[in-house]
Chain A
């Protein structure tokens, strides 16, 4: 298993570098730099000087290497839009809202989703089953900003129960967390349900019953364990979905988190900020990938021990 993990680690590291390179090239290959916007016209001479100062006149690969070596030491450069701080310090404040809201949303959503999915699988064609299917379809097909919109419309505008925006007191957190929870809930309700149904249909469950085990033991020990594998593999796409969703949620609820910086950095062509954010997201995703790979390898004895028959 160690071997398997090392191979995965290398593969993920490779992916990380490829992605960073591609994004870097993409950003720099499009004409138009940070100073070409209409609201800050500068003369050609000044421009040349600024570019040199920021290292933008070097050949691309040099810029890339410089940048990446800096990154590996923890230096992400200085954002164009607020040169007084470093990218890191700017983002440090933005971390918190995203983490708290996003994290709680995911945890709450995933847990509820698993519970609903389990109940749906065990009581087929009951109201729980239809609820689960319904929720999962809705959550997965309706874009996150639409969900946020509907939440705001219903709870803030119409019912007036909760504030619609801002970041500060806990009551402002409720709606965004619900919005964040939508995707994990939908994903896990659906996948838990189908994974459990699949497992319940497998012949070894009949054999377990034939042994005289109690229904409870069969479900909680055997079925759940066997269903865990597909549930683990869906963690990654769900994580990605949540990460991208954060952009919209933060826009809708006016939360000063990482997502909103992403949008502004793109609009302003703020390369360092943009790169840093993209890299962070990529690292996060690669990390999630690694975790789901580890969990998968650990849960599946075929991979854990190798496939030899004796």
Chain B
């Protein structure tokens, strides 16, 4: 039986000065038990389509369609009460940001019970027991406690699970998941996806998975619909789409996805020269205030603990880890934007750890940074040419005319037309803004560039373009780059060496090829295991390690097995198990 029937759907929004067409004629159908993936970049209309289906769009939206049916009900003509009765019971929706899906002033339990009682009319007590069962089903171990928690007391991953539990509480026939894992770490993402698939199979639900990530598609669905600019570009079974994409847009999406599989060619090795950047035993300890009875107590939180890192000349080192690993903190300390609690930073042989602002200024010319959020990285009140020329301005280089010329030259170098010089940041797309940020960072010709997740906020195809740009510029300028990211596929295609961080320490470090071919540390392995597949045929079931498991699985070596001189110690330390390949391990006699 057909659960969802959409024919000729058009959605437009009234805005300041005109209409914006978000969806321009979309056909879609879904039967019971099927799983459908809708893939597209931001602005493709994929979310709007499903919101229109549930009739959750604002009044400023105009919806027209030849047919718009959900669970047999004509969505265009249904009365409010009818819509309310199928929402949550016939069709349930989960969102990208779980924190915004819960009312902050009520407990999780209250909100789950509310849903259950609305659709199933159970008594409070029975509903609460149901809710507890559901929380256990989504692998929340302390379900009884969580029922009494408020949303702000739970972490992102837990909240996501609770949201899934709430969505499933009324046994919906179809679950619509709108980018449910986009904001999560890759290991958590893998767990959640596996959870969703498992629950789908168990409850015989249909699934609509909306995402921009083809990897997620490959992992979870049987049929795919590719959307761009409000229209459907291509659709078909998932193997077809991955093996034989017919539309050029689909092909380019796949190309961007698979770009992660090509390796960076080995650069020609030159004479030994001092490394461009060296971090020695870098640490950062924060004092956290915890609420005590009367006074606040302070505890120490080690964001980064004893990190050693070497960035050789003309190479790209990837610094990889999930949220809380300390990778961004390390990057910021390397730039001295954050003061280290301990450790040394050596740039091109010179120790800059203790220098004051004035003494640091000349070194600022040789190390630069680009950030993740391109919007907040550019001053909204300055034109692009002013932004790019700012470094020249700060260091008093050249006349204002010369600065303008240089800025415009760089604008072209990063792929934007010179005429853009008079525009403002808000007129650009995310990718274009990031290009401007790159131009600003490189205009002084630095030797070291720290890139803090520069592509994490970008769409798939734009990601590939920016990576390509960075690759080119690096080769042209002989830059040494520290590339911080949580996205392993990007790191794979870009870097020479990978450093893996976990909870503030380096747990493994090796040339890129070795890390992917032969990971030694359990955390690295779980990280690699969690990467979504790039081909649906490679789908597999995974087991996930908790932190305790990771600690237990720390590799143990005996002194004799290791090259070089190593001192045995009860705590884990970083040791070389092969040339250039370091692992955190416990060494015994």
B54 at the binding interface (Cβ < 8 Å): yes
Cβ distance A199 to chain B, nearest Cβ, rounded Å = 10
Let me know if B87 and A210 touch, CB within 8 A.
Answer: yes
Which residue of A has the minimal Cβ distance to B98? A207
**A203-B101, A309-B155 are known contacts. Are A212 and B87 too (CB-CB below 8 A)?**
yes
Interface size on B, residues (CB 8 A): 39
Let me know if B291 and A207 touch, CB within 8 A.
Answer: no
Cβ distance A254 to chain B, nearest Cβ, rounded Å = 47
B93, B97, B105: the one within 8 Å of A210 (CB):
B93
Cβ distance B443 to chain A, nearest Cβ, rounded Å = 39
Let me know if A212 and B56 touch, CB within 8 A.
Answer: no
A17 at the binding interface (Cβ < 8 Å): no
- Among B51, B97, B105, B115, chain A packs the most CB atoms within 10 A around the CB of B105
**A211-B118, A310-B155 are known contacts. Are A301 and B86 too (CB-CB below 8 A)?**
no
Query: SS class of chain A's interface: helix, strand, loop or mixed?
Result: helix
**A3-B294, A225-B105, A309-B154 are known contacts. Are A212 and B100 too (CB-CB below 8 A)?**
no
A203, A215, A222, A302: the one within 8 Å of B95 (CB):
A203
Cβ distance B488 to chain A, nearest Cβ, rounded Å = 26
Cβ distance B189 to chain A, nearest Cβ, rounded Å = 19
B97, B106, B114: the one within 8 Å of A213 (CB):
B114
Residues from chain B with Cβ under 8 Å of A305 in the complex: 150, 153
Residues from chain B with Cβ under 8 Å of A208 in the complex: 103
A92 at the binding interface (Cβ < 8 Å): no
Let me know if A212 and B93 touch, CB within 8 A.
Answer: no
A61 at the binding interface (Cβ < 8 Å): no
Distance, CA A205 to CA B31, complexed state (A): 29
A39 at the binding interface (Cβ < 8 Å): no
Interface size class, chain A:
20 to 34
B80 at the binding interface (Cβ < 8 Å): yes
Let me know if A203 and B87 touch, CB within 8 A.
Answer: no
Which residue of B has the minimal Cβ distance to A201? B58
Which residue of B has the minimal Cβ distance to A210? B93
Let me know if A212 and B88 touch, CB within 8 A.
Answer: yes
Distance, CA A93 to CA B103, complexed state (A): 49
Residues from chain A with Cβ under 8 Å of B152 in the complex: 301-302, 307, 309
Let me know if A308 and B153 touch, CB within 8 A.
Answer: yes
B552 at the binding interface (Cβ < 8 Å): no
A306 at the binding interface (Cβ < 8 Å): yes
Let me know if B105 and A211 touch, CB within 8 A.
Answer: no
A73 at the binding interface (Cβ < 8 Å): no
Cβ distance A29 to chain B, nearest Cβ, rounded Å = 39
A226 at the binding interface (Cβ < 8 Å): yes
Let me know if A213 and B155 touch, CB within 8 A.
Answer: no
Distance, CA A276 to CA B92, complexed state (A): 63
**A203-B95, A211-B166, A213-B118 are known contacts. Are A310 and B153 too (CB-CB below 8 A)?**
yes
Residues from chain A with Cβ under 8 Å of B290 in the complex: 308
Residue-by-residue, is B72-92 near A (CB-CB < 8 Å gives 1, otherwise 0)? 000000001100111111001
Residues from chain B with Cβ under 8 Å of A207 in the complex: 93, 95, 100-102
Let me know if A211 and B95 touch, CB within 8 A.
Answer: no
Residue-by-residue, is A185-221 near B (CB-CB < 8 Å gives 1, otherwise 0)? 0000000000000000011101111111111010000
A94 at the binding interface (Cβ < 8 Å): no
B86, B97, B103, B105: the one within 8 Å of A212 (CB):
B86
**A204-B101, A299-B105, A306-B291 are known contacts. Are A210 and B150 too (CB-CB below 8 A)?**
no
**A203-B97, A212-B86, A310-B149 are known contacts. Are A222 and B103 too (CB-CB below 8 A)?**
yes
- Among A214, A226, A306, A309, chain B packs the most CB atoms within 10 A around the CB of A309
Let me know if A301 and B104 touch, CB within 8 A.
Answer: yes
Residue-by-residue, is B92-122 near A (CB-CB < 8 Å gives 1, otherwise 0)? 1101010011111110000000110011000
Distance, CA A309 to CA B85, complexed state (A): 34
Distance, CA A260 to CA B239, complexed state (A): 86
Residue-by-residue, is B141-157 near A (CB-CB < 8 Å gives 1, otherwise 0)? 00000000110111100
A11 at the binding interface (Cβ < 8 Å): no
Which residue of A has the minimal Cβ distance to B156? A309
B401 at the binding interface (Cβ < 8 Å): no
B287 at the binding interface (Cβ < 8 Å): no
B293 at the binding interface (Cβ < 8 Å): yes
Which residue of B has the minimal Cβ distance to A229? B105
Which residue of B has the minimal Cβ distance to A302? B152
Let me know if A211 and B87 touch, CB within 8 A.
Answer: yes
Let me know if A204 and B103 touch, CB within 8 A.
Answer: yes
Distance, CA A214 to CA B118, complexed state (A): 9
A211, A222, A299, A306: the one within 8 Å of B115 (CB):
A211
Residues from chain A with Cβ under 8 Å of B97 in the complex: 203
A300 at the binding interface (Cβ < 8 Å): yes
Let me know if B294 and A210 touch, CB within 8 A.
Answer: no
Which residue of B has the minimal Cβ distance to A6? B294
Distance, CA A253 to CA B199, complexed state (A): 72
- Among A204, A211, A302, A308, chain B packs the most CB atoms within 10 A around the CB of A211
**A3-B293, A3-B294 are known contacts. Are A212 and B104 too (CB-CB below 8 A)?**
no
Q: List 21 A-B contacts (CB under 8 A).
A: A3-B291, A3-B294, A203-B95, A207-B95, A207-B102, A211-B92, A212-B84, A212-B88, A212-B118, A213-B114, A213-B115, A214-B118, A225-B106, A226-B103, A226-B104, A299-B105, A302-B152, A307-B152, A309-B154, A310-B154, A310-B155
Give 19 new A-B contacts, CB below 8 A, not counting A203-B101, A215-B84. A3-B293, A204-B104, A206-B51, A210-B54, A210-B56, A211-B166, A213-B84, A214-B81, A214-B84, A222-B103, A222-B106, A226-B104, A299-B105, A301-B150, A309-B152, A309-B154, A309-B155, A310-B153, A310-B154
| 7 nearest A-B residue pairs (beta carbon) | A212-B88, A212-B87, A203-B100, A207-B101, A211-B88, A301-B150, A210-B93
